[in-house]
Amino acid sequence: MTYTLTTPLYYVNDRAHLGSAYTTLACDAIARYHRLMGDAVVFITGCDEHGQKIQRTAEAAGLSPQAHCDLVSASYQELWQNWQISNDRFIRTTDPRHRRIVEQFFARVEANGDIREGRQQGWYCVACEEFKDDPAEAQEPSCAIHHKPLEWRDEVNLFFRLSNYQEQIEQLIRRPGFIAPESRRREVENFVAQGLRDFSISRVNLPWGIPVPGHGGHTFYVWFDALLGYLTALLNNDDHVDLDAVSERGWPAQLHVIGKDILRFHAVYWPAMLLSAGLPLPERVFGHGFLTREGQKMGKSLGNVLDPQLLLERCGSDAVRWYLLRDIPFGDDGDFQQQRFVDLVNSDLANTIGNLLNRTIAMARRWFDGAVPDPGEAAGPSHPLAVAAGDACSTYHVAWQRLDFRAAAEAALGLAVAANGYLNEQAPWSRMKQEGQREQVSSDLYAVLEAARLVAQLLAPLVPLMSDRMLAQLPAAPAPWPDQLRWGALTVGAPLPEPTPVMARLELEGQL
């Protein structure tokens, strides 16, 4: 099947922050899992490049909006490459094909009677690109997210008749699994229960946007345009630009992963727009939480922003991926704690998993002619480590269905813990000194190596580089992933290479 998933299209008013990196690497892990399971994955990310805020940021920097967008979106693409992000598509909403998709989409919505003119009065946050329904009664209302003064707007805009979709959206958000996690579903349910109001989809006097066909002076509201980027992204380079073609290229998406602040756009506005245009709806919208740092909100004014590029250079992608995916329950808010980060990476990856592999390969090489030893009784499915591996795999797959990265990581780690326990119990280093124990040692070392190989396979979507380094030391015939997850794929008699560390211990001096 085709599994299409997306990050949000990041707004290029600024460079990527840790929150965008978190969303993107969560999607990357999901994409890798599905590819390994044999699905045809289309993993979409990209940049949202229109709107007033971008125009102002560019002006402040003395650049044209396009030059500004070119710079910032290039920095995103470079960052994602450095993070081993395996996106299949990178869409920029300034792509000329996107303009044509937006025009076609608007034509359908307008033909369906869902566009009207209306006067929009209210307090507007340029940073959110959003009218605020109920700003505090203060004299100068400010945005609760940005803590910046709101601007009073009074203009005639085009509106999308969201109110036409009240019942359909109510039904949709009751559909099990459409909005996850459950706490977020309830937030949206409350919002919808207040009655859906038409929302404006155009701006006047804003040149940095896509012109609305047939409505001179109007450009599309950045959100209307940006959401459609998910459709444009599906087109192949040589495709005829046609809205109907997107269904053949992987629409509807199985999953939109977003931060909880933009849930309303994805779970309410977007489905209504798609219904109006006669296009199928995404299967699931997952709103994850925000990251704080040492218990504090990150912000420029606080001077505590953790730059993802710096984090990558100092610690490597696997260490950060492991910490964020293994420690933060996906969906909840998370707190980046440097000491805990260092401790978990060192204890889980360097010690529990890395040392297991290292010492077992060293023993096998020393005592069994540098090759994978004969499994003997460990070949069978009833060996304790074979049973533990089977259990770990079952837990692991269930965890991925629920996007519970933490449980998936713990399943892999748990198997490594079991293998370490088994090794210490059997103590091959003592047995080798006793008569008639060679067969037992051979079987034990095979079982531990095979468990380590399965750990490496389970780590592949989470920490891909470390997984590769482990698998390079554990000979097995190439096979599709589901076969690689069966007990006994390690090739008996194949040469074992000199063990090399798969994860260096993190030693961080001072605060990152």
Residues that bind Zn ion in the complex, under the rule CB under 5 A = 125, 127-128, 143, 145-146
Closest contact distance (angstroms) between CB of 282 and Zn ion is: 25
The angle formed by the CA atoms of residues 135, 141 and 147, to the nearest 5 degrees, is 95
Q: Where are the beta strands (DSSP E) in 33-177?
A: 40-48, 89-92, 115-125, 130-132, 151-160
Nearer to Zn ion, 128 or 349 (CB): 128
Q: Give the residue among 164, 352, 183 at the shortest CA–CA distance from 272.
A: 164
Least distance (Å) between residue 263 CB and Zn ion? 15
Q: Are 446 and 376 in contact (CB under 8 A)?
A: yes
Nearer to Zn ion, 14 or 335 (CB): 14
On whether the CB atoms of residues 458 and 392 are closer than 8 A, the answer is yes
Minimum CB–partner distance for residue 127 and Zn ion (Å): 4
Measured from the CB atom, the residue of 125 and 408 that comes closer to Zn ion is 125
Beta bridge partner(s), residue 149: 142
* Closest approach of Zn ion to the CB of residue 132, in Å: 8
If residue 7 lies in a helix (H) or strand (E), which one and from where to where?
strand 2-11
Residue 475 CA to residue 170 CA, distance in Å, equals 54
Which one, 71 or 127, has the nearer CB to Zn ion?
Answer: 127
> Cα(232)–Cα(311) distance, rounded to whole angstroms?
32
Closer residue to Zn ion (CB): 34 or 53: 53
Question: Residue 292 belongs to what H/E stretch?
Answer: strand 291-293
Nearer Cβ to Zn ion, position 148 or 340?
148
Can you spell out the DSSP letters for 254-266?
SEEEEEGGGHHII
Q: With respect to Zn ion, which residue has the nearer C-beta, 131 or 191?
A: 131
Complex with Zn ion: residue 146 or 186, whichever CB lies closer: 146
Going 189 to 190 to 191 to 193, the CA torsion angle's sign is positive
Name which of 143 and 291 has its Cβ closer to Zn ion: 143
Q: Answer for the pair 156, 120: CB distance below 8 angstroms, yes or no.
A: yes
Peptide bond into 475 cis (omega under 30): no
Task: Tell the smallest beta-carbon distance from residue 261 to Zn ion (Å).
Answer: 9
Q: Considering only CA atoms, which of 281, 247, 240, 235 is closest in space to residue 44?
A: 235
C-beta closer to Zn ion: residue 143 or 503: 143
Smallest distance from Zn ion to CB 213, Å: 30
CB of 130 to Zn ion, least distance (A): 7
For the sheet with 296-297, list strands across it.
296-297, 291-293, 334-336
Minimal distance, residue 274 CB to Zn ion, in Å: 26
Identify which of residues 133 and 343 has a Cβ nearer to Zn ion in the complex: 133
Helix ranges (DSSP H) in 37-162: 52-60, 65-82, 96-111
Question: Minimum distance between the CB of residue 52 and Zn ion, rounded to whole angstroms?
Answer: 12
- Would you give the distance in Å from CA 398 to the centre of its chain? 18
The Cα 292–Cα 300 span in angstroms is 13
Q: Minimum distance from CB of 143 to Zn ion (Å)? A: 3
Work out the number of other CB atoms within 10 angstroms of the CB of residue 265. Answer: 20
CB 138 within 8 A of CB 105: no
Q: Where are the beta strands (DSSP E) in 289-395?
A: 291-293, 296-297, 334-336
Residue 131 Cβ vs Zn ion, minimum distance, rounded to whole Å: 11
Closer of 128 and 342 to Zn ion (Cβ): 128
Write down the least CB distance from residue 145 to Zn ion, Å.
Answer: 4
Other CB atoms within 10 Å distance of the CB of residue 340: 13
Of 500, 412, 410, give the one whose Cα is nearest residue 460: 412
Distance CA 184, CA 22 (A): 18
Q: What is the DSSP letter of 26?
A: H
